[in-house]
């Protein structure tokens, strides 16, 4: 066992250097050794790929963790073809983006400076790295992160790979009494906290510091953080438990759930809580469309279990509520107001790449004679959304105010329409009810997709994939017209 991590011993080294040399101390020089990331290495060592172990080795004693991780977005963080394509465009626009993007998607590749770009490859080019660096955010990456550099970042907050690497024989996590025949173990409180995730799940533009992805920040100021609920409490437990965590605001440990129990490693004791390692979010594109690219390879891009769980998370995160009001004293014009509530995400809905991710409402109003009175948000023949669709996302522009989807160009968001944790947003639709109608039926559905067809065509090649959508939740109500016209006449406060 190793005592809790500390790096105070760095300072005596600085003291023996001539003063005033603070800006030139080894610690400071090391800070930006892989600029523009904030990665530092414990002891300022030079690292090589041999410093990290292949996840398959860990999997021999940590079968469950390996099965969850293999095929997860973390295991695919480097190989993910959507990432590779956007990274190549970034590299061509600004070569310093290689480290910036890679700092979170291949920590081993960047800290060993072994990533290579091949501009002559088809489409956008391709990056290669030693095999162990291709494993993206691997076991040994996470379990040898020994702390955070948040105080050194440009925004004094976690983000832009603000982690300290200390690869070696000591594996860190939050078990205080672990003993392993294969490696040393070390207790790390950091691993039990959202802060650990925040090192990568908060992204600001390395030039203008604009916060582009701020999942960690969104969580930090949410009701979940106020109640001590961490990212791990929802993303390292089965979805059924995550739902209970969100509903009760209790941590998994407090729920006394037998399904969380198990062995953390071969030969270790039975434990009350063993953490799942699939880290399932909403990504159904990579898991569904890319499928098993090579069934003989130990890692594959899409694990069915992870796909199903992503869908389940999406289907249990939001709720819809309808309210219909007459708009002109018994006349034909009506309004339906749809309330979309973020019931169970510990951050905004959607979060992260909010300029790309799409959550949208589809609303269809018909009468009892089958006439369509209003339709919005139905996908067109080219997998496109009509202009009037209510989409919950962010609208990004560059320094000149031009629309952009490229993270390296983003200067600001001109419109942010994401839904805060346990918060809601309204969408309003208007329709006329024909004189001879007796009933009106309203169907509202909430859908999710990782990005639109235009982005998929641009990044992966035209027609390479048809971006799938997941129906998250739907509500259907039938209203007698007479009741709509009289009893439900709009109260004044519902008109805005
Ligand atoms: C020969 C078997 C074996 C191999 C191989 C192995 N481990 Fe372990 N590991 C264990 C055992 C046993 C424990 C203790 C489990 C317990 O106490 O519940 C453990 C504990 C851990 C812990 C918990 C540390 C703590 O203090 O919280 C981590 C993290 C870990 N291993 C990571 C890894 C990683 C990463 C690899 C691959 C580089 C790996 N292990 C390879 C057997 C192994
Ligand atoms: C994205 C980072 C990440 C990756 C990748 C990752 N782990 Fe973990 N792991 C964690 C965190 C965080 C915890 C502790 C969670 C807590 O205490 O709340 C943990 C806990 C553990 C534990 C301690 C037992 C437990 O359930 O708390 C073991 C053992 C372990 N991981 C092994 C592995 C192995 C093996 C792999 C690769 C197959 C792996 N981890 C990949 C972040 C990661
Ligand atoms: C600070 C860490 C960090 C940096 C820097 C970073 N990313 Fe990411 N990236 C992430 C995380 C975390 C996700 C997952 C978010 C999610 O899925 O909701 C992600 C997701 C993505 C995705 C979506 C993949 C998919 O299959 O949907 C793309 C594409 C991507 N990143 C490209 C880039 C590019 C290009 C850069 C550099 C300009 C970059 N990233 C820089 C952490 C980072
Ligand atoms: C070393 C950087 C790093 C750390 C640490 C890290 N992540 Fe990630 N995470 C990523 C990247 C990069 C991706 C996206 C990979 C891609 O889509 O290509 C990702 C993807 C995810 C996804 C999947 C998103 C989706 O679209 O389905 C979830 C969920 C997630 N991370 C949660 C966590 C949690 C919880 C923690 C902390 C316990 C954590 N991550 C720690 C880098 C990291
Ligand atoms: C209360 C439970 C809960 C907590 C706490 C929580 N999440 Fe999530 N998270 C969800 C749910 C549910 C989804 C799926 C819906 C969605 O995509 O937003 C999700 C989705 C995600 C995604 C995928 C988003 C996308 O659409 O690509 C990422 C990445 C993620 N979470 C990271 C984190 C990180 C990092 C933290 C901590 C800072 C965290 N989550 C805290 C419940 C939670």
Same-domain status, 296 and 417: no
Short-list 65, 64, 102, CA closest to 83: 102
**Model pLDDT, residue 302:** 55
Percentage of the chain beyond pLDDT 90 is 77
Short-list 163, 170, 167, CA closest to 193: 163
CA of residue 345 to ligand 5 center, whole Å: 6
Same-domain status, 233 and 356: no
Mean pLDDT of the region 37-64: 96
Short-list 362, 335, 370, CA closest to 441: 370
How far apart CA 27 and CA 402 sit, in angstroms, is 40
How far apart CA 440 and CA 479 sit, in angstroms, is 5
**Model pLDDT, residue 224:** 98
Distances in whole angstroms, Cα of residue 356 to Cα of each of 86, 171, 476, 493: 12, 36, 29, 34
Residue 407 has which token pair?
Answer: 């993270």
Please return the burial class of 174, using the count of CB atoms within 10 Å of its CB with bins 0-12, 13-18 and 19+.
middle
Short-list 395, 392, 396, 452, CA closest to 417: 392
Percentage of the chain beyond pLDDT 70 is 88
For residue 482, what is the domain's CATH number?
2.60.40.10
Short-list 131, 32, 150, 124, CA closest to 79: 131
Domain span at 441: 317-494
Same-domain status, 117 and 186: yes
The pLDDT-based confidence of 2 (bands split at 50, 70, 90) is: very low
Q: Is residue 249 part of a domain?
A: yes
Could you tell me how many residues make up the chain? Answer: 496
Regarding the beta carbon of 277 and ligand 2, being less than 6 Å apart is answered: yes
**Model pLDDT, residue 329:** 85
Q: Is residue 36 part of a domain?
A: yes
Is 25 a residue whose pLDDT tops 80? no
Is 1 a residue whose pLDDT tops 90? no
How far apart CA 115 and CA 108 sit, in angstroms, is 9
Q: pLDDT tens for residues 331-387?
A: 999 999 999 999 999 999 999 999 999 999 999 999 999 999 999 999 999 999 999
Distances in whole angstroms, Cα of residue 214 to Cα of each of 157, 210, 361: 11, 10, 24
Is 283 a residue whose pLDDT tops 50? yes
- Convert 377-395 to b/e letters by CB count within 10 Å (16 or more is b): bebeeebebeeebbbbbbe
How far apart CA 443 and CA 196 sit, in angstroms, is 42
How far apart CA 156 and CA 162 sit, in angstroms, is 10
Is 175 a residue whose pLDDT tops 60? yes
The pLDDT-based confidence of 29 (bands split at 50, 70, 90) is: low
Regarding the beta carbon of 144 and ligand 1, being less than 6 Å apart is answered: no
How far apart CA 251 and CA 122 sit, in angstroms, is 48
Mean pLDDT of the region 38-53: 96
Q: Which atom of ligand 4 is nearest to the CA of 104?
A: 2
Ligand nearest to the CA of 143: 1
Please return the burial class of 423, using the count of CB atoms within 10 Å of its CB with bins 0-12, 13-18 and 19+.
middle
Regarding the beta carbon of 429 and ligand 4, being less than 6 Å apart is answered: no
Instruction: Write out residues with Cβ below 6 Å of ligand 5.
Output: 194, 197-198, 201, 215-216, 219, 224, 229, 231, 233-235, 242, 245-246, 281-283, 313-314, 317, 344-347, 349-352, 357
Distances in whole angstroms, Cα of residue 403 to Cα of each of 97, 202, 203, 353: 20, 22, 19, 15
Q: Is residue 48 part of a domain?
A: yes
Please return the burial class of 267, using the count of CB atoms within 10 Å of its CB with bins 0-12, 13-18 and 19+.
exposed
**Model pLDDT, residue 199:** 98
How far apart CA 320 and CA 180 sit, in angstroms, is 49
Ligand nearest to the CA of 190: 2
Same-domain status, 349 and 249: no
How far apart CA 152 and CA 157 sit, in angstroms, is 8
Short-list 331, 335, 293, 337, CA closest to 425: 337
Look at residues 294, 312, 330 and tell me which one is the last residue of a structural domain.
312
The pLDDT-based confidence of 11 (bands split at 50, 70, 90) is: very low
**Model pLDDT, residue 187:** 98
Q: Is residue 3 part of a domain?
A: no
The pLDDT-based confidence of 123 (bands split at 50, 70, 90) is: confident
Residue 242 has which token pair?
Answer: 């995550």
Same-domain status, 120 and 240: yes
**How many separate domains does the chain show?**
2
Same-domain status, 164 and 275: yes
Using only C-alpha atoms, the chain has a radius of gyration, in whole angstroms, of: 25
Mean pLDDT of the region 20-44: 72
Is 300 a residue whose pLDDT tops 80? no
Mean pLDDT of the region 286-307: 56
Regarding the beta carbon of 188 and ligand 4, being less than 6 Å apart is answered: no
Ligand nearest to the CA of 221: 5
Q: What is the mean pLDDT of the chain?
A: 89
Same-domain status, 264 and 382: no
Same-domain status, 342 and 300: no
Is 83 a residue whose pLDDT tops 60? yes
Q: Is residue 1 part of a domain?
A: no
Residue 263 has which token pair?
Answer: 């062995």
**Model pLDDT, residue 18:** 43
Q: Residue written as tokens 């011993």?
A: 9
CA of residue 181 to ligand 5 center, whole Å: 35
Q: Is residue 4 part of a domain?
A: no
Mean pLDDT of the region 16-40: 64
Look at residues 285, 312, 339 and tell me which one is the last residue of a structural domain.
312
Q: pLDDT tens for residues 178-235?
A: 999 999 999 999 999 999 999 999 999 999 999 999 999 999 999 999 999 999 999 9
Q: Is residue 490 part of a domain?
A: yes
CA of residue 87 to ligand 3 center, whole Å: 9
Mean pLDDT of the region 467-475: 94
The pLDDT-based confidence of 288 (bands split at 50, 70, 90) is: low
Question: The pTM is what?
Answer: 0.93
**Model pLDDT, residue 493:** 42
Q: Which of 256 and 29 is assigned the larger pLDDT?
A: 256
Q: Is residue 328 part of a domain?
A: yes
Same-domain status, 326 and 401: yes
The pLDDT-based confidence of 28 (bands split at 50, 70, 90) is: low
How far apart CA 151 and CA 27 sit, in angstroms, is 13
Short-list 114, 101, 97, 103, CA closest to 47: 114
Same-domain status, 413 and 473: yes
Q: pLDDT tens for residues 382-422?
A: 999 999 999 999 999 999 999 999 999 999 999 999 999 99
Same-domain status, 490 and 402: yes
Mean pLDDT of the region 303-309: 75
Look at residues 292, 312, 332 and tell me which one is the last residue of a structural domain.
312
CB 241 within 8 A of CB 276: no
User: Which residue's C-alpha comes closest to atom 16 of ligand 4?
Assistant: 77
Which of 133, 137, 234, 407 to mutate for ligand 4's pocket (most ligand atoms within 8 Å of CB)? 137
Distances in whole angstroms, Cα of residue 314 to Cα of each of 43, 216, 243, 350, 480: 43, 19, 11, 10, 32
Same-domain status, 283 and 324: no
**Model pLDDT, residue 308:** 82
Residue 485 has which token pair?
Answer: 């016209």
**Model pLDDT, residue 488:** 55
Distances in whole angstroms, Cα of residue 164 to Cα of each of 43, 171, 404, 416, 426: 10, 14, 32, 33, 43
Instruction: Write out residues with Cβ below 6 Å of ligand 3.
Output: 80, 82-83, 86-87, 90, 97, 100-101, 103-105, 159-161, 200-201, 203, 281, 283, 286, 352-353, 407-408, 450
């Amino acid at each position: 066992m190793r005592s809790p991590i500390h790096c105070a011993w760095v300072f005596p080294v600085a003291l023996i250097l001539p003063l005033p040399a603070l800006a030139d101390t080894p610690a400071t020089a090391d800070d930006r050794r892989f600029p523009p990331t904030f990665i530092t290495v414990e002891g300022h060592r030079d690292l090589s790929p041999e410093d990290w172990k292949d996840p398959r080795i860990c999997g021999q004693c940590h079968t469950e963790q390996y099965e969850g991780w293999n095929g997860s977005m973390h295991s695919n963080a480097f190989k993910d073809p959507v990432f590779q394509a956007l990274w190549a465009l970034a590299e061509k626009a600004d070569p310093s983006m290689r480290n910036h993007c890679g700092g979170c998607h291949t920590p081993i590749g960047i800290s060993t400076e072994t990533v290579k770009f091949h501009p002559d490859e088809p489409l956008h080019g391709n990056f290669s790295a030693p095999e162990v660096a291709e494993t993206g955010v691997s076991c040994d990456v996470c379990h040898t992160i020994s702390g955070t550099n948040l105080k050194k970042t440009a925004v004094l907050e976690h983000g832009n790979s603000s982690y300290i690497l200390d690869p070696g024989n000591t594996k860190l996590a939050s078990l205080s009494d672990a003993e392993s025949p294969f490696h040393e173990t070390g207790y790390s409180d950091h691993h039990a906290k959202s802060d650990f995730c925040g090192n990568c799940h908060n992204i600001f533009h390395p030039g203008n510091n604009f916060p582009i992805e701020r999942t960690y920040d969104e969580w930090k100021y949410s009701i979940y953080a106020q109640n001590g609920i961490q990212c791990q409490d929802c993303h390292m437990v089965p979805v059924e438990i995550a739902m209970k965590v969100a509903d009760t605001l209790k941590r998994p440990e407090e729920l006394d759930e037998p399904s969380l129990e198990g062995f953390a490693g071969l030969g270790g004791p039975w434990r009350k809580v063993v953490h799942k390692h699939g880290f399932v979010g909403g990504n159904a594109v990579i898991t569904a469309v890319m499928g098993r690219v090579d069934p003989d390879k130990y890692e594959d891009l899409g694990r069915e279990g992870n796909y199903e769980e992503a869908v389940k998370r999406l289907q249990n995160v939001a709720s819809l509520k309808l309210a219909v009001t007459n708009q002109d004293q018994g006349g034909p014009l009506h309004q339906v107001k749809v309330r979309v509530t973020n019931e169970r995400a510990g951050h905004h809905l959607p979060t992260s790449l909010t300029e790309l991710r799409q959550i949208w409402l589809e609303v269809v109003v018909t009468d009892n004679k089958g006439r369509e009175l209003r339709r919005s948000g139905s996908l067109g023949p080219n997998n496109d959304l009509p202009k009037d669709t209510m989409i919950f996302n962010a609208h990004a522009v560059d320094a000149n105010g031009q629309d952009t989807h490229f993270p390296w160009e983003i200067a600001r968001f001109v419109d942010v329409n994401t839904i805060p944790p346990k918060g809601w947003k309204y969408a309003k639709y208007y329709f006329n009810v024909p004189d001879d109608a007796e009933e009106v039926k309203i169907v509202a559905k909430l859908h999710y997709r990782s990005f639109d067809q235009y982005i998929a065509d641009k990044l992966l090649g035209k027609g390479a994939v048809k971006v799938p959508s997941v129906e998250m939740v739907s509500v259907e109500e039938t209203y007698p017209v007479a009741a709509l016209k009289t009893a439900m006449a709009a109260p004044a406060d519902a008109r805005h």
